[in-house]
């Protein structure tokens, strides 16, 4: 067990809200975090079928049993409980009573918003960020190992071979979570679709092309991509656009949240394969985007992350918007800083001069150019915090 960055945020929320929801992908550490953060609350899980059915048959009876407060795990299995929980917290709005977890937000967040609006603080826990990973006894030693292994905590906590664990994780995701929300007759086609998405990580989304390659319609590709997003496998980065430029391309960009999962889908069997792999740069860009996303959600903030591209050729990988502060980031997997790393940032700052800007790259030393700098991949926080 390592300390998670979300823990103090949860403790603070528990002083004000009667209920909290922690959602996120399976195996991101939600249960461990909640039990460690609130050790005095009893723990109940709705994963076993008998307990789930009992709670659904007699929701008032279930709520009565946990009236003093509890951690209720996997609440997405019994979403109707939220209406009865609303009645209970209205009766007694004492803060910090209920901590709910959900492994997927297929309608769960909307259900919470409807039933527990104003009564429940909502948070997301993703697999550990780089600074959290470094709290494990034996974190990945270098960039290639970090990208290939990914960040799911059980791999690092128990020393499970990443390739084996990630293969099992994908099988469980497809067999259980996807079937729970979609009537997909051909799971093999859906698995192929996930692999195609991994090959398009860090690219703009073209649903017609993606559906065509997968052998499904545009609408099916849209639906399946939404399922991947709801299951926290991918994030869609909207395009940054203002009225300053009328030729800004507004297509969203696709990023896999866990680089290890993407490597597994791409059949990259060992870290060294990444050294000369044609998708290393894309995987690194997605890793940087995921690190920024984790920084935001693990601080209890709503994600505010974008990309920028103009039809005339200017592209910037990431724009980070945090409480009025903006930072443009270029992600470069190479270990040597080249002068052209800074060129897109300089051009963008000519349009948006208030931007902070910097490069995250695959090397080991900090390099400066005027008021911008390139920071090593394992010092990404130094760039993100520099403009505070």
Q: How confident is the model at residue 387 (pLDDT cuts 50, 70, 90)?
A: very low
The pLDDT tens digits for 261-305 are 999 999 999 999 999 999 999 999 999 999 999 999 999 998 889
Q: Which residues contact 379 (CB under 8 A, 6 or more apart)?
A: 366
Q: Which of 30-44, 73-87, 213-227, 236-250 has the lowest mean pLDDT?
A: 236-250
Cα 325 to chain centroid distance, Å, stands at 21
For 7-124, which CATH superfamily applies? P-loop containing nucleotide triphosphate hydrolases (3.40.50.300)
Phi-psi region of 359 (alpha: psi -120 to 50; beta: other; left: phi over 0): beta
pLDDT at 144: 98
| Residue showing tokens 């307990």 | 51
Distances 115 to 21, 84, 94, 246, 315 between C-alpha atoms, Å? 12, 9, 17, 41, 42
**Can you give the length of the chain in residues?**
388
Continuous H helices in 77-139: 81-91, 108-115, 130-133
Radius of gyration of the chain (CA): 22
- As a whole-number percent, the residues of the chain with pLDDT over 70 amount to 92
The pLDDT tens digits for 37-70 are 999 999 999 988 888 898 899 999 999 999 999 9
pLDDT at 190: 87
H or E element that contains 94 = none
Q: How confident is the model at residue 342 (pLDDT cuts 50, 70, 90)?
A: very high
Which one, of 17, 4, 34, lies nearest residue 151 by Cα? 4
Q: Do the Cβ atoms of 73 and 101 come closer than 8 Å?
A: yes
Tokens of 66: 């946990």
The pLDDT tens digits for 355-385 are 899 999 999 999 988 889 999 999 998 887 7
Strands annotated E in the chain: 19-23, 43-45, 70-73, 98-102, 120-124, 203-204, 234-237, 253-256, 305-309, 315-322, 325-332, 356-361, 367-369, 372-376
Residue 189's SS3 state is helix
Q: What is the pTM of this model?
A: 0.93
| Residue showing tokens 């996120």 | 24
Mean pLDDT across 11-26: 94
* Alpha carbon distance 73, 99 (integer Å): 8
Which one, of 75, 80, 102, 44, lies nearest residue 232 by Cα? 102
List the 305-309 sheet strands across, edge first. Answer: 305-309, 315-322, 325-332, 356-361, 372-376, 367-369
Residue spans of the domains in the chain: they are 7-124, 130-384
């Amino acid at each position: 067990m390592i300390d998670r960055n979300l823990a103090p945020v949860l403790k603070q929320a528990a002083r004000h809200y009667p209920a909290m929801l922690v959602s996120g992908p399976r195996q991101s550490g939600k249960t461990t975090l909640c039990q460690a953060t609130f050790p005095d609350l009893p723990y109940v899980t709705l994963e076993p079928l008998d307990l789930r059915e009992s709670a659904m048959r007699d929701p008032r009876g279930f709520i009565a049993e946990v009236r003093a407060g509890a951690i209720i795990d996997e609440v997405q299995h019994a979403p109707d409980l939220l209406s009865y929980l609303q009645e209970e917290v209205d009766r007694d709005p004492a803060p910090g009573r209920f901590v709910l977890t959900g492994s997927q937000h297929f309608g769960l967040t909307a259900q919470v918003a409807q039933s527990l609006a104003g009564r429940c603080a909502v948070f997301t826990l993703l697999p550990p960020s780089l600074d959290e990973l470094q709290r494990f006894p034996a974190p990945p030693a270098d960039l290639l190992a970090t990208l290939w292994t990914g960040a799911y905590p059980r791999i690092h906590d128990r020393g499970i071979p990443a390739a084996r664990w990630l293969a099992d994780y994908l099988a469980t995701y497809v067999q259980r979570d996807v079937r729970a929300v979609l009537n997909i007759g051909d799971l093999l086609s859906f698995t192929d679709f996930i692999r195609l998405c991994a090959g398009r990580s860090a690219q703009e989304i073209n649903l017609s092309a993606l559906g065509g390659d997968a052998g499904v319609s545009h609408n099916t590709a849209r639906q399946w991509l939404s399922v991947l997003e709801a299951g926290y496998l991918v994030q869609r980065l909207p395009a940054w656009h203002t009225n300053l430029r009328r030729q800004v391309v507004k297509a969203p960009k696709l990023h896999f949240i866990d680089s290890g999962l993407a490597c597994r889908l791409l059949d990259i069997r060992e870290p060294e394969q990444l050294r000369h792999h044609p998708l290393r740069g894309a995987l690194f860009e997605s890793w940087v985007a995921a690190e920024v996303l984790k920084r935001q959600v693990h601080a209890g903030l709503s994600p505010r992350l974008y990309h920028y591209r103009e039809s005339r050729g200017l592209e910037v990988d990431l724009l980070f918007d945090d409480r009025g502060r903006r930072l443009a980031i270029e992600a470069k997997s190479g270990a040597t800083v080249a002068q052209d790393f800074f060129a897109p940032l300089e051009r963008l700052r000519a349009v948006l001069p208030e931007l902070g800007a910097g490069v995250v790259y695959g090397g080991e030393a900090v390099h400066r150019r005027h008021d911008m700098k390139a920071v090593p991949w394992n010092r990404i926080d130094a760039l993100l915090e520099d403009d505070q």
